[in-house]
């Protein structure tokens, strides 16, 4: 929980130094009120269950099955497969593989067909105290059915290429379906403190993306240069390393069949498990060297 410790320390030091709103009583000179404490509220009664290892301190991975409910996501032109159904199957397969390893705890943001706002997805992970957040999707390329293979996205305010920018624009519109004004939220968050934590989170996310490509290539067909950057809302938890995994293209017949097959789903789960295990092993070594 290195990232949460960093942010907690920053918030503690800065506590009472800034105020985003004037209260009835003016703060004393030098005092600030930080408008957030990222994980102070803890889990809610309706948050998803955590399964897996019962050993205290074992890392927690939150897996987010993209889309859901009224937001179906992409649709395969080859067989009518709907993204929200594929992502849920993949998320369950990854969860089950991680649980079988016995080395970590796991939770799904959704384990049924429901709509969840983009920010609520990573807020669930933050309330649970997640150490890693993986959002699972299936891509679409309406202008070219030749695109195929998996892609790994990590957060960047500047998209790595035009395709990544288009993905961000498409995925970020999901909350509009729920009537949510994304730009109106969290406007009073102290951006300096959040930026410090988020920079560290983005660095760790990039490391995990590289590990995923390395560890899963034996099982998962990736695109050439699969690691890309995009300003995706679901990746903006300031204190949790996060990736968005586009598992393949529903607009490609071979990818679509692979993603719907039990064998393909298990291969993706195996590759993801290997990467997650390598990630936390590396983090443990780094922590002991500090």
Q: Residues 69-118: pLDDT tens digits?
A: 999 999 999 989 999 999 999 999 999 999 999 999 999 999 999 999 99
Number of domains observed in the structure of the chain: 1
Q: Residue 156's pLDDT band (boundaries 50, 70, 90)?
A: confident
44: in domain: no
Return d(Cα 245, Cα 262) in angstroms, integer.
18
Return d(Cα 89, Cα 265) in angstroms, integer.
8
Q: Residues 237-281: pLDDT tens digits?
A: 888 999 999 999 999 999 999 999 999 999 999 999 999 999 999
Q: Residues 38-55: pLDDT tens digits?
A: 454 578 989 999 999 999
Task: Give the pLDDT of residue 171.
Answer: 79
128: in domain: yes
Token pair of 169 as six digits: 């624009």
152: Cβ contacts below 8 Å, ≥ 6 apart: 209, 212, 213, 226, 227, 228, 243, 244, 245, 246
117: in domain: yes
Task: Give the pLDDT of residue 25.
Answer: 42
- Type and span of the H or E element at 58: none
Partners of 246 in beta bridges: 137, 151
Return d(Cα 79, Cα 91) in angstroms, integer.
21
Whether residue 21 has pLDDT greater than 50: no
Return d(Cα 260, Cα 85) in angstroms, integer.
9
Return d(Cα 276, Cα 32) in angstroms, integer.
39
CATH code of the domain covering residue 90: 3.40.630.40
Proportion of the chain in helix, strand, coil states, percent, rounded to 5:
45, 15, 40
43: in domain: no
Task: Give the pLDDT of residue 188.
Answer: 47
4: in domain: no
Q: pTM for the full model?
A: 0.80
Domain containing 75 equals 50-178+188-288
Q: Which residues of 95-126 are buried (b: 16+ CB within 10 A; e: fewer)?
A: bbbbbeeebbbbbbbbeeeebbbbbbbbbbbb
- Residue 119, CB half-sphere, CA atoms under 13 Å: how many? 10
| Residue 194 CA from chain centroid, whole number | 17
| DSSP helix/strand/coil, 241 | coil
164: in domain: yes
Span of 30-39, 86-95, 145-154, 160-169 with lowest mean pLDDT: 30-39
- Type and span of the H or E element at 63: strand 60-65
State the average pLDDT for the chain: 82
Contact between 109 and 64 under an 8 Å Cβ cutoff? The reply is yes
Q: Pairing mode, if any, of strands 222-230 and 132-139?
A: unpaired
Q: Residue 200's pLDDT band (boundaries 50, 70, 90)?
A: confident
163: in domain: yes
Q: Where are the alpha helices (DSSP H) in the chain?
A: 2-14, 83-101, 118-128, 162-172, 174-177, 191-216, 253-260, 262-289
Task: Give the pLDDT of residue 129.
Answer: 94
Residue that has been written with the tokens 């408008």 in this structure:
35
Q: What is the side-by-side strand order in the sheet with 51-52?
A: 51-52, 105-108, 60-65, 132-139, 242-249, 150-155, 222-230
Q: Pairing mode, if any, of strands 150-155 and 132-139?
A: unpaired
157: Cβ contacts below 8 Å, ≥ 6 apart: 231
Task: Give the pLDDT of residue 158.
Answer: 75
111: in domain: yes
């Amino acid at each position: 929980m290195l990232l949460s410790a960093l942010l907690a320390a920053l918030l503690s030091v800065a506590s009472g130094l800034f105020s985003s709103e004037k209260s009835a009583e003016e703060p004393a000179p030098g005092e600030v009120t930080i408008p957030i404490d990222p994980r102070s509220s803890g889990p809610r009664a309706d948050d998803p269950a955590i399964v897996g290892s019962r050993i205290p301190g074992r890392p927690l991975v939150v897996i987010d099955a993209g889309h859901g409910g009224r937001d179906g996501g992409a649709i395969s032109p080859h067989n009518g497969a709907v993204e929200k159904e594929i992502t849920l199957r993949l998320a369950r397969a990854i969860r089950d593989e991680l649980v079988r390893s016995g080395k970590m705890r796991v939770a799904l943001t959704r384990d049924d067909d429901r709509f969840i706002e983009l920010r609520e997805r990573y807020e669930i992970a933050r309330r649970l105290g997640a150490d890693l957040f993986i959002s699972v999707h299936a891509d679409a390329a309406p202008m070219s059915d030749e695109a195929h293979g998996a892609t790994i996205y990590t957060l960047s305010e500047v998209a790595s290429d035009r395709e990544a920018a288009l993905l961000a624009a498409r995925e970020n519109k999901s909350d509009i379906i729920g009537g949510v004004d994304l730009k109106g939220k969290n406007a009073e968050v102290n951006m300096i403190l959040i930026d410090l934590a988020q920079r560290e989170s983005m660095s760790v996310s990039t490391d995990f993306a590289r590990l995923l490509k390395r560890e899963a290539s034996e099982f998962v067909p990736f695109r050439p240069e699969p690691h890309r950057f995009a300003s995706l809302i679901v990746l903006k938890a300031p204190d949790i390393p996060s990736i968005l995994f586009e598992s393949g293209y529903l607009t490609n017949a071979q990818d679509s069949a692979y993603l719907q097959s039990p064998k393909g789903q298990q291969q993706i789960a195996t590759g993801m498990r290997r990467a997650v295990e390598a990630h936390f092993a590396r983090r443990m070594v780094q922590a002991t060297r500090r």
